[in-house]
Amino acid sequence: MNISEIPVIVYQMGKVGSTSIVHSLKRLGLEVHHKHSLNPEHCRMLVKSFEEKALKMPVWLKDWETVYNKYIITHQPIKVITAVRKLLAEIYRHSLKILKNSLVTNQI
């Protein structure tokens, strides 16, 4: 499989400019999926909530199950891009450092 044929999932939490990333990758002709969640329980809960309230389903949520089944369940090769804002990046980096230190000292 040519590396340019591997699908890309732009996966992020919140407003970080990911739509611009998605549009740029699509202009390059890549298969791109924009997702805020691929957690089955969370996605099912959101879908149910939108349906019960007769609200318009967000685009990222419409095909979550297809993407999940096609790539995550089957372990198909994918590229994942995740973007975070600076503050979130610092919190994330700090959390990983704590986790690493805890694993090294067997505190978890």
Tell me: pLDDT of 43 over 90: yes
pLDDT of residue 41: 93
Do residues 32 and 7 touch, judged by C-beta distance below 8 A? yes
What is the pLDDT confidence band of residue 103, given thresholds at 50, 70 and 90? low
Query: Residue 75 belongs to what H/E stretch?
Result: none
Contacts 24+ apart (CB under 8 A), 18-21: 18/83, 21/81, 21/83
Structural domain harbouring 50? 3-104
Number of domains in the chain: 1
| Greater pLDDT, 84 or 30 | 30
pLDDT of residue 20: 86
Tell me: pLDDT of 101 over 90: no
| Greater pLDDT, 80 or 11 | 80
pTM tops 0.75, yes or no: no
What is the pLDDT confidence band of residue 106, given thresholds at 50, 70 and 90? low
Do residues 94 and 23 touch, judged by C-beta distance below 8 A? no
